[in-house]
């Protein structure tokens, strides 16, 4: 099936995007994903609305109600947004990645690294993860690192820099800034507050 066929048959099957659909394409709106797919006549490729590839000319853009229809019309799926990949990956896949993240907090957990672990494109992983957990992978990694940091701060006397290293953030300034942003205080302040609470409890117990 060739571009020629698309063009020759295009007149019959070509559905131009509505105003709303076109706005979604221009804004890479992931809310529109799963509602329609768009294909570009000049490239022979089709995408999800959220694809970050260059916005096509509107005249060259057609919409389809499913990946199957776009494939049937002779378009190839975009490598970047993988429009014909399953929209809802198995929960087990994301659950496995969550377990991986928790067990490897000291390591490189960039989106690219996680995509490699998950045998997925970073883009597909990002969407799927967010859809299932409500967090982007990076937000989730950050939360898990901060959760572990609070555990280590309360359960050990290790210096803050060491705790930063143990949660995969060897740059102390970065770790402290991140901690403050997520928890509203520095790691040292957090520890002091915990100690104060502990002392208060002991005092009450002594009385
Ligand atoms: Zn695409």
Which domain, by its residues, includes 109?
91-202
Q: Which residue carries 């131009």 as its tokens? A: 16
- Indicate whether 106 and 176 sit together in one domain: yes
- Report the distance separating Cα 145 and Cα 68, nearest Å: 41
Domain endpoint, select from 77, 102, 126: 77
- Report the distance separating Cα 207 and Cα 196, nearest Å: 17
- Indicate whether 25 and 73 sit together in one domain: yes
Domain tally for the chain?
2
Domain endpoint, select from 77, 100, 129: 77
Q: Is residue 41 within 8 Å of residue 32, measured between CB atoms?
A: no
- Report the distance separating Cα 45 and Cα 81, nearest Å: 11
Active site residue 47: yes
Q: What is the pLDDT of residues 46-92, one digit of tens each?
A: 999 989 889 999 999 999 988 888 988 999 999 888 888 765 456 77
Catalytic-labelled residue, pool 26, 28, 47, 119: 47
- Report the distance separating Cα 130 and Cα 117, nearest Å: 17
Domain membership of residue 22 (yes or no) is yes
Q: What is the pLDDT of residues 40-58, one digit of tens each?
A: 999 999 999 989 889 999 9
Query: Which CATH number covers residue 181?
Result: 1.10.10.60
Cα–Cα nearest to 36, from 81, 6, 67: 67
Please tell me the pTM assigned to this model: 0.56
How many whole angstroms from 99 Cα to the centroid of ligand 1? 29
The two beta strands, 61-64 and 45-47, are unpaired
Per-residue exposure over 24-52, b if at least 16 CB sit within 10 Å of its own CB, e if not: bbeebbbebbeebbbbbbebbbbbbbbbe
Q: Which residue carries 């429009």 as its tokens? A: 83
What is the torsion angle, in degrees rounded to the nearest 10, for the CA atoms of residue 27, residue 33, residue 35 and residue 40? 60
Domain membership of residue 41 (yes or no) is yes
Q: What is the pLDDT of residues 110-161, one digit of tens each?
A: 999 999 888 788 988 998 899 888 899 999 999 999 999 999 999 899 999 9
Q: Which residue carries 């099957």 as its tokens? A: 13
How many whole angstroms from 184 Cα to the centroid of ligand 1? 39
- What is the per-residue pLDDT for 90? 62
Report CA-CA distances (Å) from 52 to 9, 55, 78, 202: 28, 8, 11, 57
Residue 113: how many other CB atoms lie within 10 Å = 14
How many whole angstroms from 55 Cα to the centroid of ligand 1? 10
- Indicate whether 124 and 47 sit together in one domain: no
Q: Which residue carries 């559905």 as its tokens? A: 15
How many whole angstroms from 26 Cα to the centroid of ligand 1? 13
- Indicate whether 142 and 178 sit together in one domain: yes
- Indicate whether 67 and 104 sit together in one domain: no
How many whole angstroms from 47 Cα to the centroid of ligand 1? 4
Query: Which CATH number covers residue 35?
Result: 3.40.10.10
How many whole angstroms from 120 Cα to the centroid of ligand 1? 15
How many whole angstroms from 198 Cα to the centroid of ligand 1? 55
- Indicate whether 104 and 197 sit together in one domain: yes
């Amino acid at each position: 099936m060739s571009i020629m066929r698309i063009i020759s048959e295009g007149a019959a099957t070509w559905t131009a995007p509505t105003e709303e659909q076109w706005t979604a394409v221009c804004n890479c709106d992931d809310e529109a994903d799963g509602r329609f797919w768009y294909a570009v006549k000049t490239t022979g490729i089709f995408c999800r609305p959220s694809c970050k590839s260059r916005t096509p000319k509107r005249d060259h853009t057609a919409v389809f109600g499913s990946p199957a229809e776009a494939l049937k019309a002779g378009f190839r799926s975009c490598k970047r947004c993988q429009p014909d990949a399953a929209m809802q990956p198995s929960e087990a896949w994301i659950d496995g990645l969550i377990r991986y993240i928790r067990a490897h907090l000291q390591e490189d957990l960039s989106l690219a690294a996680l995509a490699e672990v998950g045998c997925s494109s970073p883009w597909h992983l990002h969407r799927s993860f967010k859809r299932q957990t409500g967090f982007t992978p990076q937000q989730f990694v950050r939360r898990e690192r901060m959760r572990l940091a609070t555990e280590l701060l309360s359960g050990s006397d290790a210096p803050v820099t060491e705790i930063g290293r143990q949660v995969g953030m060897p740059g102390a300034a970065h770790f402290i800034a991140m901690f403050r942003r997520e928890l509203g205080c520095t790691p040292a302040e957090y520890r002091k507050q915990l100690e104060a609470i502990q002392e208060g409890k002991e005092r009450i117990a002594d009385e």
